[in-house]
Amino acid sequence: MMMVPNMSITASQPKPSPRGLADADVQFRHMEEPITDDAILSAKFLATKGNQAFQGSPGHLPWQRWAEGDSTSTMDVIPTTDLPTWLRACLPRLLRLCGLKPNWDSYGSPPPSLALVKGVISWLRLAEKETLPEPEVVPASAGGIQLEWYLGKRELEIEFTATGQIEYLRSDNERREEKEDVIKNLDDLRSLLGWLIG
Amino acid sequence: MTARPSDLPDFEAPPVAEVVLGVKFTIPGGLKVYHIGIYWDRIKSKFPKFQEQPPLPAQDEPAFSFVSGPPPLPRCWFLDDTETRLIQLQADRFIHNWRKVTGKEEYPRYEAIRDEFVDRWDEFCGFLGDQGVSKPILNACELAYVNHISKESCWTEPKDLGRLFSFLATDMSGGAGHTLESVQCGLRFKLPGGNGHLNVSMTPAIRKQDQQEILRFDLSARGAMESGEEAQLLKWFDGARETIVRVFTGLTTEEAHACWKRKT
C-alpha cells in the first residue's frame, strides 16, 4: 500500500465483478487516503479504454509528474524508468503492434492502441518481477495484446483485451495441467508470474 | 518576425522535438461546449484534424476536487495536415505546439513558432469577441522545449551521459565499476525577475514513432501573469526562451554542443 499525496485523479477500489476490472469507476476522491496498487492499476488500465491517457502519475516523483501527468507535450514516448530489463527489451515490439494496419487479421481487428500498451506496461511494471525472460509479444483479436512465455515445461499466455479485461492460460506440460481464468488484481498477476519462474 | 538575440547560443542541429507555448486563463461566464465546435469551423481550413484528450489538471489547486455542475470540457486538439502543428484548447487553456512527426522535419525556430502562437491566440480572442464571450483573463503561461536525445546519436550507454551533461559526473560507474542502468533526474530554477520557475527533467524513454531509445530532456518554464496584457505575455515568453536556451547550454557540455553543431 502506498500514499499518493499529489495525484489529481485517483481510482476507486476495484469492484468485484465477473468481468474483472472493467466495471470499476475512476472518480474524484480525497488525495490523502491510502491507495492500493490495485486501485491505481484499475484506474490506469481503465483509462486506456476510449484511448485516453491517465492523468497524473501515482507514486511518481515530482519531475516525473511534471514530465508526464500534467505535461502539455503531445509526443508519444514511453518512459522506461523503473522498468525491469526484460520489459524494457520487449517494449519496442509492443510499440510496433500499434503500427499494424486495421484488419491485420482479416477479421476486422484494429491494431492495439498506444493507451493499451501503456496499460500493459503499468501492470507489468508494478508486478515487480525482475528476473523473467522476455515474452513473445503478439497482437490479439479486437485490438488486444498477448504475451507468451515458454519456460521449460511451463507455458503462460496473458491477454490484455481492448475492453479492459486480463485473461490467462497456463500450462504445465510435465503434470499435463491447464488452467485459464481472469486476472482480477495485481496479486493474481504476481502469483502467475511467480508460478512461471517458480 | 521577432529578432533573435545576437548573443544567444545557437545550434544548427538541436535535439528539440517539440516546442509548446501555452496560456492558462479564466473566462467570465465560461467557455461552452458549442463554442468549441464553432471555433473549429473557424480554423478548419488550417487545422482540419481533431482529437479529444482528457483535460489537463489545474496546476496549483488543492489536492482534491468536488464534482458539481456540468462535466468539464475535454481538451480538444486541432491539428494541421502534417500534424506538426496543433492547438490544444480546453476550458482554461490555449496551447500551441510545434512537434516533429516523422523526425525529419526542420526545426522552424522559436521566433516562427512564437509568431504562429500570437496569430492563433489573436484569432481565438477575436472569435470569442464575435461570439459575445468575455475576453479571457490570463493568469499563467508556459513555454516548454522537449528534446529527444536519441541513443546512437551521441550516446550509446547511460554512462555516456556524463560526457553530455555538465551536472553529471564523468565517471558514472558509482566509483566501483558498477553498471549504470538508467539516469533520471529533475532540476528546478528560478526565472529571472521572479517570473516563475523553470523545471528541467531528464527521463529515459522509448519513442513510439520509431521505437528508438531516447533520453527525453525537457525544459519547461511556467509563470503567473499579473496584468494579463498581451505585451507582458510576449515579453514573458521571450524571457523564458532566453533562460531555457542559456540553461540548456549551461547544463550540457562542449562535446554535446559539437554533436548538435553549435554555431554561436
Residue bearing cell 517458480: A198
Q: pLDDT over 90 for what percent of chain B?
A: 76
pLDDT bracket for residue A13 (50, 70, 90): very low
Write out residues 140-169 of B within 8 Å (CB-CB) of A.
Answer: 142, 144, 146, 148
pLDDT bracket for residue B59 (50, 70, 90): low
CA angle, B16 then B18 then B22, to 5°: 130
**Structural contact between residues B238 and B2, judged by C-beta atoms closer than 8 angstroms:** yes
User: Residue B220, SS3?
Assistant: strand
Of B7, B14, B18, B16, nearest to B257 by C-alpha is: B14
Give the C-alpha separation, B35 to A40, whole Å.
35
Write out residues 9-68 of B within 8 Å (CB-CB) of A.
Answer: 17-18, 20, 22, 53-59, 63-67
For B67-94, what is the mean pLDDT? 90
Nearest CA distance, B65 vs chain A (angstrom)? 6
- Whether the pLDDT of residue B71 is over 90: the answer is no
For A51, list phi and psi in degrees, rounded to 5: 60, 35
Higher pLDDT, A154 or B64: A154
Write out residues 167-186 of A within 8 Å (CB-CB) of B.
Answer: none
The enclosing H or E element of B76 equals strand B75-79
Give the C-alpha separation, A19 to A150, whole Å.
27
Q: What is the pLDDT of residue A40?
A: 46
pLDDT bracket for residue A70 (50, 70, 90): low
pTM of the predicted structure, to 2 decimals: 0.80
What residues of chain B lie within 8 A of the CB of A29, using their CB? 64
Q: What is the pLDDT of residue A129?
A: 83
Give the C-alpha separation, A150 to A41, whole Å.
26
Q: What is the pLDDT of residue B67?
A: 56
Of A47, A25, A1, nearest to B67 by C-alpha is: A25
Q: What is the pLDDT of residue A45?
A: 45
For B52-65, what is the mean pLDDT? 69
> Is B1 domain-assigned?
no
- Which value does ipTM take for this structure? 0.81
Select from A52, A62, A95 the Cβ nearest to the Cβ of B208. A95
Q: What is the pLDDT of residue A2?
A: 35
Q: Which residue of A has its CA nearest to B17?
A: A75
DSSP string, B27-75: -TT---HHHHHHHHHHHTTT--EEEEEPPPPPSSS-S-----SSPPPPE
Q: pLDDT over 70 for what percent of chain B?
A: 95
Q: What is the pLDDT of residue B86?
A: 97
> A25-29, A84-88, B117-121, B177-181: which has the minimum mean pLDDT?
A25-29
B80 shares contact with chain A (CB less than 8 Å):
no
Q: What is the pLDDT of residue B152?
A: 84
- Whether the pLDDT of residue B16 is over 90: the answer is yes
Residue B39, classified by CB atoms within 10 Å of its CB into exposed (0-12), middle (13-18) or buried (19+), is buried
> Is B148 domain-assigned?
yes
**Structural contact between residues A59 and A40, judged by C-beta atoms closer than 8 angstroms:** yes
Of B70, B116, B69, nearest to B94 by C-alpha is: B116
**How many cross-chain Cβ pairs, A to B, lie less than 8 Å apart?**
122
A51 shares contact with chain B (CB less than 8 Å):
no
Of B174, B202, B155, B162, nearest to A80 by C-alpha is: B202
Of B91, B77, B93, nearest to B40 by C-alpha is: B77
A100 shares contact with chain B (CB less than 8 Å):
no
- Whether the pLDDT of residue B143 is over 60: the answer is yes
For chain A, domain boundaries: 2-197
Select from A5, A61, A79 the Cβ nearest to the Cβ of B204. A79
Give the C-alpha separation, B49 to B45, whole Å.
10
What is the number of other CB atoms lying within 10 angstroms of the CB of residue A60?
19
> A25-29, A149-153, A159-163: which has the minimum mean pLDDT?
A25-29
For B136-159, what is the mean pLDDT? 93
Ramachandran sector of residue A140 (left: φ over 0; alpha: ψ -120 to 50; beta: rest) = beta
What residues of chain A lie within 8 A of the CB of B63, using their CB? 5-8, 31-32
The enclosing H or E element of B246 equals helix B230-251
Please state, in angstroms and as integers, the Cα–Cα distance from residue A101 to each residue in A12, A112, A140, B148, B166, following that order: 35, 10, 13, 27, 44
Which of A74, A81, A95, A118 to mutate: most B Cβ within 10 Å? Answer: A74
Q: What is the pLDDT of residue B130?
A: 96
- Residue A148, beta-bridge partner list: A136, A157
Is A79 in contact with B203 (Cβ distance < 8 A)? yes
Is A9 in contact with B57 (Cβ distance < 8 A)? yes
Measured in whole angstroms, how far is the alpha carbon of residue B3 from the centre of its chain? 20
Owning domain of residue B241 = 16-56+72-259
The enclosing H or E element of A85 equals helix A85-97
Of A135, A182, A188, nearest to A163 by C-alpha is: A182
Of A90, A116, A124, nearest to A193 by C-alpha is: A124
Higher pLDDT, B100 or A69: B100
Q: What is the pLDDT of residue B228?
A: 67
What is residue B243's DSSP assignment?
H
For B2-20, what is the mean pLDDT? 92
Write out residues 63-92 of A within 8 Å (CB-CB) of B.
Answer: 63-64, 66-67, 69-81, 85, 88, 91-92
Q: Which residue of A has its CA nearest to B99?
A: A75
Give the C-alpha separation, B166 to B143, whole Å.
23
- Whether the pLDDT of residue A5 is over 50: the answer is no
Nearest CA distance, A43 vs chain B (angstrom)? 14
Q: What is the pLDDT of residue B171?
A: 81
**Residue partners of A152: CB distance under 8 A and separation at least 6:** none
B201 shares contact with chain A (CB less than 8 Å):
yes
pLDDT bracket for residue B65 (50, 70, 90): low
Cell of B34: 458549442
Is B208 in contact with A81 (Cβ distance < 8 A)? no
- How many domains does the structure of chain B reveal? 1
Q: What is the pLDDT of residue A11?
A: 32
- Whether the pLDDT of residue A190 is over 90: the answer is yes
User: Residue A33, SS3?
Assistant: coil
